[in-house]
């Protein structure tokens, strides 16, 4: 099968470890195990038997995940290798070639590329900058019909960091109900809201929701590769049988660490540490763009460590990011990866000094381009 290239991930995979400054990460500076675990827990990890474990996720972990989703229980949960695998299985297990799939754009682009590769008919609706990165609901209504099999959102959104307002959430649920469509909601940035108010999950607001999340972003543990799918029991069970084909199970060490990370007190501490870092770094980035308001238009994200900015320099976004990589050893994501030339996505979740150095390099490049 021929696939669409997943431009965003490809670019990161190729270059993220070969540049001096990598500002492509949409998550927050990861923890080391020693920053996170106590001696007792380390001892426990040393005694974990390295089997396959329960392949849809240990009961303890699924219990912890279920607490984050109203009305769910362990039978609604499939633990996956990252939220990427949960997204993959959501599309693969529900949609057939020819089905209609109404998808929010811009987006992480994983399900966009997958759906296109699987011959699914993708009907995009757009978050609009002049609506503060909210969708145009009339446009959305015109797209959903009785043929729509799934409506897919990324909330909070990657790359804009916006959060759907109540009116948009209601509209999406109403449309899904009318058409009988599933809602697939990628909520991996839930918990990384800058104002500290965690958004409601779509799960529990309508009976055909597949909610996806994991520990990579708000929790800053991408290396654990821990994700999950929360869905009606029959869908969770079906998804599990698809998971038998993708990776069988997730790592038992990761599951144990994830179970600890989701204990309410520890979870709060993690989210708090990350919010503080985000808050401080966003302020740095805001000041930086304000100093250059003739070059940038920036609507600050409401959640997540990615900042999506429009720039006013006459250069294609891929060309600009390639020059940055080659001439400044700085990696950032081009708007082209989201089908939006003229924009850049910068990861601001790194350590402060690292972010400042990366921004200095970007400023150098901009000066060179503007003064040509
Ligand atoms: C919206 C969204 N979903 C899913 C993923 C995949 O993340 P992971 O598999 O690490 O959980 C990402 C990664 O950037 C993302 O931005």
The ligand 1 atom nearest the CA atom of 84: 9
For ligand 1, the distance from its centroid to the CA atom of residue 333, given in whole angstroms, is: 15
| Extents of the domains making up the chain | 7-32+267-364, 51-263
For ligand 1, the distance from its centroid to the CA atom of residue 286, given in whole angstroms, is: 24
Q: What is the pLDDT of residues 299-348, one digit of tens each?
A: 999 999 999 999 999 999 999 999 999 999 999 999 999 999 999 999 99
Whole-number Cα distances in Å, 24 to 91, 126, 190, 358: 26, 23, 19, 11
The ligand 1 atom nearest the CA atom of 304: 16
Residue nearest to atom 15 of ligand 1 (CA): 108
Is residue 372's pLDDT more than 80?
A: no
Q: Rounded distance, CA 315 to CA 319, Å? A: 7
Q: What is the pLDDT of residues 188-224, one digit of tens each?
A: 999 999 999 999 999 999 999 999 999 999 999 999 9
Sheet-wide strand order for 343-347: 296-298, 306-311, 343-347, 333-334
Q: Taken in order 286, 26, 77, 50, is the CA torsion positive or negative?
A: negative
The ligand 1 atom nearest the CA atom of 226: 11
For ligand 1, the distance from its centroid to the CA atom of residue 188, given in whole angstroms, is: 6
The ligand 1 atom nearest the CA atom of 86: 9
| CATH number at 51-263 | 3.40.640.10
Give me the pLDDT at residue 145, please.
Answer: 96
Q: Rounded distance, CA 165 to CA 134, Å? A: 7
Give me the pLDDT at residue 371, please.
Answer: 82
| CATH number at 7-32+267-364 | 3.90.1150.10
Ligand 1 site-directed mutation target among 13, 105, 106, 108, most atoms within 8 Å of CB = 108
Give me the pLDDT at residue 313, please.
Answer: 95
For ligand 1, the distance from its centroid to the CA atom of residue 82, given in whole angstroms, is: 7
What percentage of the chain exceeds 90 in pLDDT?
A: 99
Mean per-residue pLDDT for 149-176?
98
Find out whether 214 and 242 touch, Cβ atoms under 8 Å.
no
Mean per-residue pLDDT for 63-68?
98
Find out whether 222 and 27 touch, Cβ atoms under 8 Å.
yes
Q: Rounded distance, CA 320 to CA 49, Å? A: 49
Q: How confident is the model at residue 60 (pLDDT cuts 50, 70, 90)?
A: very high
Q: What is the pLDDT of residues 243-273, one digit of tens each?
A: 999 999 999 999 999 999 999 999 999 999 9
Ligand 1 is surrounded, with C-beta below 6 A, by: 26, 82-84, 87, 108, 154, 158, 186, 188, 214, 216, 222, 227
Q: What is the pLDDT of residues 113-140, one digit of tens each?
A: 999 999 999 999 999 999 999 999 999 9
Ligand 1 site-directed mutation target among 27, 82, 107, 333, most atoms within 8 Å of CB = 82
What's the pTM? 0.98
The ligand 1 atom nearest the CA atom of 222: 10
Which among 239, 234, 305 has a CA at the least distance from the CA of 275?
Answer: 305
Q: What length is written for the chain?
A: 372
Mean per-residue pLDDT for 159-175?
98
As a whole number, the mean pLDDT across the chain is: 97
Q: How confident is the model at residue 234 (pLDDT cuts 50, 70, 90)?
A: very high
């Amino acid at each position: 099968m021929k696939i669409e290239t997943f431009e965003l991930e490809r670019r990161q995979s190729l270059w993220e470890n070969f540049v001096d400054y990598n500002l492509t990460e949409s998550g927050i500076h990861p923890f080391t195990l020693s920053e996170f675990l106590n001696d007792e827990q380390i001892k426990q990890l040393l005694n974990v038997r390295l089997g396959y474990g329960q392949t849809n996720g240990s009961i303890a972990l699924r219990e912890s995940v279920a607490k984050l989703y109203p009305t769910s229980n362990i039978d609604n949960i499939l633990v996956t290798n990252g939220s990427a695998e949960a997204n993959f299985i959501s599309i693969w297990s529900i949609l057939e070639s020819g089905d209609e799939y109404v998808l929010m754009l811009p987006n992480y682009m994983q399900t966009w590329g997958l759906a296109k590769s699987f011959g699914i008919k993708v009907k995009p609706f757009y978050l609009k900058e002049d609506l503060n990165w909210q969708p145009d609901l009339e446009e959305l209504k015109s797209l959903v019909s009785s043929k729509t099999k799934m409506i897919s959102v990324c909330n909070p959104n990657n790359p804009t960091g916006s959060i759907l307002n109540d009116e948009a959430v209601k509209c999406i649920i109403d449309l899904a109900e009318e058409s009988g469509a599933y809602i697939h909601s990628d909520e991996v940035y839930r918990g990384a809201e800058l104002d500290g108010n965690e958004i409601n999950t779509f799960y529990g607001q309508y009976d055909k929701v597949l909610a996806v999340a994991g520990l990579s972003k708000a929790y800053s543990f991408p290396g654990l590769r821990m994700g999950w799918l929360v869905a009606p029991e029959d869908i969770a069970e079906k998804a599990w049988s698809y998971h038998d084909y993708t990776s069988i199970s997730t790592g038992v060490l990761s599951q144990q660490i994830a179970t600890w990370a989701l204990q309410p007190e520890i979870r709060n501490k993690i989210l708090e540490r990350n919010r503080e870092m985000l808050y401080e770094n966003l302020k740095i980035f805001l000041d930086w763009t304000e100093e250059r308001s003739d070059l940038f238009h920036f609507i600050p994200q409401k959640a997540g460590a990615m900042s999506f900015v429009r720039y006013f320099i006459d250069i294609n976004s891929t060309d600009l990011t390639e020059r940055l990589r080659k001439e400044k050893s700085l990696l950032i994501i081009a708007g082209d990866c989201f089908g939006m030339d003229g924009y850049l996505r910068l990861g601001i979740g790194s350590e402060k000094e690292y972010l400042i150095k990366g921004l200095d390099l970007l400023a150098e490049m901009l000066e060179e381009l503007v003064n040509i």
